[in-house]
Amino acid sequence: MTRETSRRQLLKGISGIGAAGVVWGKAGVGTALAGTTAGQRAADKAARRVAGQAGRAPGSVLWRAQAGTATQLTSLDLVAGYGMVYACNTPGSGSGAGRVYAFDAGTGARAWQLSGELPQPQAAGPGAVFWITIIQAGPPAGSADIVASGAAAGSTLWSFDTGRPNSSAYYADGMVIVNDYGTVTALDAGTGRRAWTSKPTSYFAMVAAEGDTLYASGYGSAGGAAADWQLVAMNASTGAQRWRFTAFTGELFGLAAGNGVVCGTWSPPPNGPYATFTVDAFDGRRLWQADSNTAVAVQAISGGFVISLNLAALTGSRTTLYARHVSSGAPAWHRTLAANVRSLTSDGEALYTGGARDNRITALAASTGKTLWTCRMGAPAQAAAAAGDVLYVIDANAGVYAIQA
């Protein structure tokens, strides 16, 4: 198995959970946002007040909507923020036809819908949603366009042709950051104009952002062969490099930024222990490293804890979450969940899991791993996004839920 193949399988198998700037390369479900701004939190809370839904009990369903009709092998995803929820429903028929639906975050009223080729919503920003559509015809066939649609009516504000497949995009500090596994491009979120382009390593797997700093992880190339992994910090506005961390001797699994640190997990070849590490977000100094014989991948930084997931969950085994103190790396707690349960997303206080046949979404306290509340839906959860004090979920029947968090 090549390094590129194993990374793609990992990204498809685990959903990234978006707290404090967590971003996977693009996990297919559970789209992660690059940080939560004060403006986003204010907009989401204002929408809740207008709808008269403030103060409901945690786990209460605030509204339910429908994002079309789910079919076999349908790809379902959603993002939320700035008073809106955007859901994607792409049939698995191979036709490429799919739809993006926009809902008012406070009431669940449908604002608009539009069609695209294999649409994949990526992130919400002020007054817009940023999504990817895959161009079936060439040249080059299968390349990705980044599209910005207005939040009010869905009209196209701008589009950007990446010229490459497998691209992903994130919103951070007024920029749309495009990661196409080799090049990072920053676009002005309002106009789509290219602000800067950088290629700090040969190939990328993951990008994370917090505040005005972008973190890109990938591996270099030496004589045409894949070299060791690297982690690079860049100014999100200019692309200028701030620091580079190169103390890897294996493959990186997972990336998270928050609480003044950047965290990840890497595995030294050929069969060395998995190492969870943190580096100082300001200067890239390694702060601590904790080795484990259990194959794990960092999922999030939440509530002052680094949360990891056992990779065996990819094969249908029971899911185990592990928490370490972000300041020291000392173990805090671990909890084993049912098979097929996935980490869907998180916020500053809780982790949200779901996906099993019991159709439940469960909130776990980031500090203890204990259950805070559960909510039953009509089908297993496919993706989730936390915005403000609400959790938004899309289930296997294309039902979209707003749940009081």
Average pLDDT over residues 354-369: 95
| Residue pLDDT, tens place only, 250-274 | 778 788 999 899 999 888 766 678 8
| pLDDT at position 192 | 96
Average pLDDT over residues 191-203: 85
Q: Predicted confidence band at 154 (pLDDT cuts at 50, 70, 90)? A: very high
Give phi and psi for 42, each to the nearest 5. -65, -40
| pLDDT at position 243 | 95
Say what the pTM is.
0.84
Domain annotation for the chain: domains and CATH numbers: 3-404 (2.130.10.10)
State the Cα–Cα distance between residues 257 and 134, nearest whole angstrom: 29
State the Cα–Cα distance between residues 39 and 37, nearest whole angstrom: 5
DSSP 190-237: TT--EEEEE-SSSEEEEEEEETTEEEEEEEEEETTEEEEEEEEEEETT
Identify the residue with better confidence: 144 or 33. Answer: 144
Structure tokens belonging to residue 212: 């005005």
Q: Decide if pLDDT at 373 tops 70.
A: yes
Q: Decide if pLDDT at 114 tops 80.
A: yes
Q: 221: Cβ–Cβ under 8 A, 6 or more apart, which residues?
A: 202, 203, 227
State the Cα–Cα distance between residues 40 and 49, nearest whole angstrom: 14
| pLDDT at position 93 | 56
Cβ burial, residue 247 (10 Å; 0-12/13-18/19+): middle
Structure tokens belonging to residue 101: 């639906």
Burial string for 369-399 (b: 16+ CB within 10 Å, else e) reads beebbebebeebbbbbbbbbbbbbbbbbbbb
Q: Predicted confidence band at 389 (pLDDT cuts at 50, 70, 90)? A: very high
User: Angle 264-268-272 (CA atoms, 0-180°, nearest 5)?
Assistant: 115
Residue (of 37, 34, 43, 52) closest to 84 by Cα position: 43
Q: Decide if pLDDT at 360 tops 90.
A: yes
Identify the residue with better confidence: 223 or 159. Answer: 159
| pLDDT at position 173 | 82
Q: 237: Cβ–Cβ under 8 A, 6 or more apart, which residues?
A: 173, 174, 175, 186, 195, 212
Q: With contact defined as beta carbons under 8 Å apart, do 236 and 175 qualify?
A: yes
Could you tell me what percent of the chain has a pLDDT over 90?
50
| Residue pLDDT, tens place only, 96-107 | 678 999 999 999
Q: Which of 43-57, 295-309, 321-335, 348-362 has the lowest mean pLDDT?
A: 43-57
DSSP annotation of 32 reads P
DSSP 119-171: -EEEEEETTEEEEEEE--SSSSTT-EEEEEEETTT--EEEEEE-SSSS-EEEE
Q: Decide if pLDDT at 280 tops 90.
A: yes
Could you tell me what percent of the chain has a pLDDT over 70?
79
Q: With contact defined as beta carbons under 8 Å apart, do 53 and 403 qualify?
A: no
Q: Decide if pLDDT at 95 tops 80.
A: no
Q: Decide if pLDDT at 183 tops 60.
A: yes
Q: Predicted confidence band at 346 (pLDDT cuts at 50, 70, 90)? A: very high
| pLDDT at position 15 | 36
